[in-house]
């Protein structure tokens, strides 16, 4: 009587999978304290989102067409570089400003068209920009 033995593939595959799982857990376990110490993202904004943390104001409000107005952003982050977008019925204008030590930035601009204007204060992030403050105002 001859005895035929089946290859034991399931057991070998199971052992290989278990070894991979142990290696993955060991790697993740070693890097978890490093990630926790860095705060996960290294203290940088996530990017592409709209994490509004500050506020925006316009003076005067409403604005008379042809007049100057001042945009002020507060709570933007101390000494942060800020991109300010002003969108109105005619165009979009962009300014790059640096917030002061209190996290405030301001720019004076001129109104050219009537309608509603939208202002967005953004900070650079890993993959684009994150909106930190926004507001809108009327130009009559």
Q: 67 pLDDT exceeds 90?
A: yes
Specify the pTM: 0.62
Query: Per the domain annotation, does 64 fall within a domain?
Result: yes
Q: What is the reported pLDDT for 126?
A: 83
Pick the residue with more confidence: 7 or 38? 7
What percentage of the chain exceeds 90 in pLDDT? 56
The band of 21, judged by pLDDT with boundaries at 50, 70 and 90, is very low
Give me the phi and psi of 81, to 5 degrees please: -75, 130
Q: 67 and 32, same structural domain? A: no
Q: 36 pLDDT exceeds 50?
A: no
The enclosing domain of 129 has a CATH number of: 2.60.40.10
d(CA 70, CA 93): 14
Pick the residue with more confidence: 57 or 32? 57
Q: Per-residue pLDDT tens for 102-136?
A: 999 999 999 999 999 999 999 988 888 999 999 99
Q: What is the reported pLDDT for 52?
A: 56
Domain range for 94 = 55-139
Contact of 129 with 80, CB cutoff 8 Å: no
Residue environment code for 107-134, b if the CB has 16+ CB neighbours within 10 A, otherwise e: bebebeebeebebbbbbbbeeebbbbbb
Q: 112 and 63, same structural domain? A: yes
Q: 78 and 131, same structural domain? A: yes
């Amino acid at each position: 009587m001859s005895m035929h033995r089946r290859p034991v593939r399931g057991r070998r595959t199971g052992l290989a999978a278990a070894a991979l799982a142990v290696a993955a857990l060991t790697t993740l376990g070693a890097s978890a304290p490093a990630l926790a110490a860095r705060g996960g993202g290294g203290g940088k904004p996530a990017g592409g989102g709209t994490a509004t943390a500050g506020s925006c104001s316009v003076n005067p409000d409403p604005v008379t067409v042809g007049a100057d107005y001042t945009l002020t952003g507060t709570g933007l982050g101390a000494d942060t570089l800020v991109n300010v977008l002003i969108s109105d019925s005619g165009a979009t204008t962009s300014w790059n400003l640096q917030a002061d030590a209190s996290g405030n930035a301001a720019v004076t601009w001129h109104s050219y068209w009537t309608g509603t204007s939208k202002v967005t204060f953004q900070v650079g992030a890993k993959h684009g920009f994150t909106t930190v403050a926004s507001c809108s105002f009327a130009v009559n």
